[in-house]
Structure 1
Amino acid sequence: MTDRPTISVVMCVENGARYLQEALDSIALNAMPDMEVLILDGDSTDDTVAIARRHALAPRILRQRAKGHPQALNQSLTEARGTWVAHIDCDDVWPAGRMRALWAAAEAGAGEWIFGQAVNCDAVLRPLGVPQPARLITASLLHHSIADRIGPFRTDITHGSNIDWAARASHAGIRFAPIDALVLQRRIHDSNLGVTGRPKAMRDLFQILRDHKARSGS
């Protein structure tokens, strides 16, 4: 592999052993030439690191330098070596063909941030609805240079930092490109950050909306 792989797949995880094997297997199912896999571990006390170390993907495993999801996302973009970056949560799954679909759009020059569709699923991956267009960092493939143009994820908000980042990217003129392909099975369960911290999530989202309106002058 070159020092600068084409694609970096990044996972930020803390105590994610419950679903980690399934997530890693789905990455392997979507393996691309010249692709690195990077895991940022937040001092897990379960079997997260052991599962990652014995997986055939042979991921590069690093310790998260600071607690918090946006802090981990910022480190992920610093540590990722790929020209393009894809993120996955430890409890989610990539369907077969995911990376091929996103990469085809990237190679065709469709945009700098390619988004697909996601479907919410229960704990055993039974769909809870139909696939929908999803401007989520975990349902996308983004060009690494975006981080240099719009700066880091905000660390003053716990929830929705990726929504704020996407709003800032839009304001900065980043070229978004939606594709008509299912790229993410998003597992909804009782330990999801968005479920356990819903009141704080709503406050953060209202703050993001206010800030976005201020940038837009509306």
Structure 2
Amino acid sequence: MASAPQISIVIPSFNSGEYIGEALDSALAQVGVQTEVIVVDDGSTDDTVARVQAYGDRVRLIQQANQGSAVARNRGVAEARADYIAFLDADDYWHPQKLSRQWAAVQAGAELVYARFTLWHAGADGRFPPALAYLTESQAAGRMSKPARRGWLYIDLLLDCEVWTSTVLAHKALLNKVGGFDTSLRKGQDYDLWLKLANEAEWHGVSESLALYRIHDQNITRSVKAENFEYRILSTAYRRWGLVNRDGRRLPADTMQARLARSARTFADAHLAARSGDIATNYYRISLTHQPLAPRVWLNWLRARLLPR
């Protein structure tokens, strides 16, 4: 690279050979900023490494034994040469001006920047439509995530994880200050990190959709786990920071109780559908500790109890 990068792009990969080419092409196509692209391969057993190596010295490849995406992202941050880090998942896609539009916010003083995004669904033939055309058309049609916000967003994020990993641009010093991604979380490491960061700095949301989130069967967020990591993350944040923003805004306690109840209930519903009686029973019980007067939850708790063990 002719000059030091302004932004380091960190891409964790694990058996991502089918999609990583489009992600890398979109990272390398960024205009208006100096970048370096870092892929941390987390023990892939498919052709991911060969596909990354085909890009030569345009991409820094770091290989490690399989330890999870949180470890991979933290490794990428540690290896990054730039002061700002942008995260991109190996199956997603960026608009060519994604980083330049966010960099404008950095130049105006922002340390944490995110953007809106669009869900990228395959067509009836199982193929994903051309990325840039799909993103442009979706934005024109208003098919985007929630409107982006600016300011101290801790209590907003408690209610909903509006920030998505492949849209985040953050100062490396901030990431290090809060300890990066929690490697003990199998799921939701990003949500946990955004909550921690939201207590350290204001978020700057870019109103445009600048990325595509590919929806497919291998998405980790679509699989059911034995532990409700969202509930763990929310409970930990509640205990640590309470319900008050750095700007003084407060979240009503009953609203937070409803949020915790919903997290536990939704998780229990998924396990009831999967006929995992013990897990469903436990999380219905947890939901009821937050909202005891919930007839449907009591009924489903009973159904879960009656499932064969």
Point out the structure with max Rg over C-alpha.
2
Q: Distance in 1 between matches of 2:208 and 2:57?
A: 25
Task: Write out per-residue CA displacement over residues 156-206 of structure 1, whole angstroms, 9 at most, x where no aligned residue.
Answer: 2111011001111112x21211111212100010111111x23447x0001
Q: Distance in 2 between matches of 1:200 and 1:102?
A: 37
Q: Distance in 2 between matches of 1:145 and 1:65?
A: 26
Asked if the contact 1:120–1:188 (Cα under 8 Å) also holds between the matched residues in 2, the reply is yes
Asked if the contact 2:182–2:189 (Cα under 8 Å) also holds between the matched residues in 1, the reply is yes
Instruction: Give % identity.
Output: 28
Q: Residues 3 and 63 from structure 1, CA distance in 2 versus in 1: closer, same or farther, beyond 3 angstroms?
A: farther
Asked if the contact 2:112–2:203 (Cα under 8 Å) also holds between the matched residues in 1, the reply is yes
Relative contact order, higher structure (CA 8 A, sep 6+)? 1
Map 1:13-162 → 2, pairs under 5 A: 13-55=13-55, 58-64=58-64, 67-109=67-109, 111-123=110-122, 124-125=128-129, 130-132=143-145, 133=148, 134-162=162-190
Q: Distance in 1 between matches of 2:113 and 2:167?
A: 9
Q: Is 78-87 or 56-65 further displaced after alignment?
A: 56-65
Give, in angstroms, the shift of residue 76 of structure 1: 1.5
Q: Residues 53 and 32 from structure 1, CA distance in 2 versus in 1: closer, same or farther, beyond 3 angstroms?
A: farther
Residue in structure 1 matched with residue 242 of structure 2 by the alignment: 217
Q: Distance in 2 between matches of 1:78 and 1:66?
A: 17
Q: Residues 64 and 2 from structure 1, CA distance in 2 versus in 1: closer, same or farther, beyond 3 angstroms?
A: farther
Residue in structure 2 matched with residue 208 of structure 1 by the alignment: 233
Q: Over aligned residues, Cα RMSD in angstroms?
A: 2.2
The residue identity in structure 2 corresponding to 1:146 is L
What is the total number of aligned residue pairs between the two structures? 214
Give, in angstroms, the shift of residue 70 of structure 1: 1.3
Q: Residues 24 and 31 from structure 1, CA distance in 2 versus in 1: closer, same or farther, beyond 3 angstroms?
A: farther
More helix by share: 2
Q: Distance in 2 between matches of 1:32 and 1:46?
A: 34
| Corresponding residue SS for 1:75 | helix
| Corresponding residue SS for 2:93 | coil
TM-score by length of structure 2 reads 0.64
Give, in angstroms, the shift of residue 103 of structure 1: 1.0
Q: Distance in 1 between matches of 2:56 and 2:182?
A: 34
Asked if the contact 2:115–2:167 (Cα under 8 Å) also holds between the matched residues in 1, the reply is yes
Stretches of structure 1 that go unaligned for 5 or more consecutive residues are none
The residue identity in structure 2 corresponding to 1:70 is A
Asked if the contact 2:4–2:82 (Cα under 8 Å) also holds between the matched residues in 1, the reply is yes
